[in-house]
Amino acid sequence: MNDSSQANVLLVEEIRRGKPTAWSELIAQYEGRLLSFVESRLRRRDASEDVVQETFIGFLTSLPNYDTRRSLESWLFTIAAHKLTDHLRREGRRPALPFSSGDGSAGNWEPPGSDREASSIARSGERRGMEDAAVTAGIAEQIERWQAAGDWQKIQCMELLFVLGWGNKQVSEALKLTEQQVANFKFDFLERLRKIVRGQRLSEDVFPELQG
Amino acid sequence: MSTPFTDAELAAYLDEDLPQERMASIEQALRDDPTLGSRLTGIVGSRDAGVHTVGAMWRRNRLSCPSREQLGSFLLDVLDTNQAEYLRFHLNTVGCRVCNASLDDLRTHHRAEEQVGLETRRKKYFESSVGYLRSDD
């Protein structure tokens, strides 16, 4: 999925120039789906609207960090997820966990702050970004091929294995495939990703699923 | 005590990226099962150490999510059968929160448009016929 269309790039450029009409347009485009996302969890309209409001404010404060090559919708939902996590934590519904870049509003969508060692984060972040971009592009290309060929079952198979983390047996039962078929699909897919990692001389150590 | 949650689901939980019922189940289990907290802490540590997982990259970049237009076509029931079946799988089995939110929003817009259409139609019928109203008096 990619919504980083030219229209969105232009919209963000206008917002960066401080155009209220562009900002109003972005709100109109995305507030409904963001509200639905938050409300599905909170079940309370007032509190959900507050979280969406914080999301839009968060978007504007993080705008200097937003790369328009990235999907605008995904960026907004990432901010909303962080704001929602904060809200749930304040309410005591979400148990506190140790600080992490992937949990809570101190995540990587915030503008560079003074509370972390910016240089080390930037260095490691750059490396991680390269690894992520290379493998993500490989997965996306494979999915597009399957979609073009109408091979939806392979997408379902990989989604169950990797996105939900199901075992081969459970996947084979759900999709009415043999376990051997699931294993073959999985092997072919991972082999393709391994080639990408090796081809770009990335460390295989940080992709544990590709080792084997 | 073992739990039925996979590591991929726990990682999605950290990103607020599971269906609400599954999120609530994990939160409940976290209160009852201290080992689940340890597993989550392990996942957090692994991420912070720069370890990548296919599932996290797939989810974060929404690699198999349909476009807004495709969701609209799904709502209008004009997608081909296989693609529609895949979308049902993505929405219901995978339970993609973002796509479900987008679909809910589209439904709301669709209903609002239908309402506007209904009002416009009624107004048109009324205005084109009101001149023929006759009083019996």
Distance CA A132, CA A134 (A): 6
Does A82 contact B at CB distance below 8 Å? yes
Q: What is the pLDDT of residue B15?
A: 93
Q: Is A3 on the interface with B (CB under 8 A)?
A: yes
pLDDT of the residue at A87: 96
Instruction: Decide if A108 contacts A83 (C-beta within 8 A).
Output: no
pLDDT at A204: 86
8 Å CB contact of A136 and B7: no
Instruction: Give the pLDDT confidence score for residue A100 in this predicted structure.
Output: 54
Q: What is the dihedral of CA B84, B87, B88, B89, to 10 degrees?
A: 130
pTM (two decimals): 0.84
Q: Do A3 and B68 touch (CB under 8 A)?
A: yes
Residue A186 confidence (pLDDT): 97
Q: Which residues pair with A103 in a beta bridge?
A: A100
pLDDT at B134 over 90: no
* Least confidently predicted of A27-31, A78-82, A104-108, A182-186: A104-108
Q: Angle at the Cα of A74 (from B44 to B113), degrees rounded to 5? A: 140
pLDDT tens per residue across span A89-140:
998 888 776 545 544 444 444 433 334 444 454 547 788 888 999 999 999 9
Cα–Cα distance for residue pair A23/A36, rounded to 1 Å: 20
Distance from CA of A36 to the nearest CA of B (A): 5
pLDDT the model gives residue A80: 97
Token representation of residue B80: 């081909």
CA distance A158 to A151: 12
Q: Can you read off the two tokens belonging to residue A82?
A: 């962080």
CB contact under 8 A, A139 and B57: yes
pLDDT band at residue B126 under the 50/70/90 scheme:
confident
Using a CB–CB cutoff of 8 Å, tell me whether A166 touches chain B: yes
Q: Is the minimum CB–CB distance between B7 and chain A shorter than 8 Å?
A: yes
- DSSP helix/strand/coil, A100: strand
- Give the residue among A161, A189, A187, A190 at the shortest CA–CA distance from A173: A161
Quick one: pLDDT band at residue A3, thresholds 50, 70, 90?
A: low
Residue A177 near chain B (CB below 8 Å): no
Q: Chain B: residue nearest A141 by CA? A: B63
B6 or A126, which is more confident: B6
Cβ contacts (< 8 Å) between B31 and chain A: which residues? 95
Gap from A84 CA to chain B (nearest CA, Å) = 8
Closest CB from B44, B67, B85 relative to A100: B44
Provide mean pLDDT across the span B109-132.
81
pLDDT tens track for B32-82: 898 999 999 999 999 999 999 999 999 999 999 999 999 999 999 999 999
Mean pLDDT of all residues belonging to chain A: 86
Task: Establish whether this prediction's ipTM goes over 0.90.
Answer: no
Task: Look at A132 and B105 and tell me if their CB atoms are within 8 Å.
Answer: no
Residue of A5, A27, A33 best to disrupt the B interface, most CBs of B under 10 A: A33
pLDDT at B98 over 50: yes
pLDDT at B5 over 60: yes
Chain B 83-102, residues with CB within 8 Å of chain A CB atoms? 83, 85-86, 89-90, 93-94, 97-98, 100-102
Is the per-residue pLDDT at B2 higher than 50? no
pLDDT digits (tens, 9 = 90+) for B19-28: 999 999 999 9
Q: How many CA atoms lie within 13 A of A71 on its CB side?
A: 17
Instruction: Please tell me which residue of chain B has the smallest CA distance to A143.
Output: B64
**pLDDT of B60:** 93
A 131-150 near B (Cβ less than 8 A) = 131-132, 135-136, 139-140, 143, 150
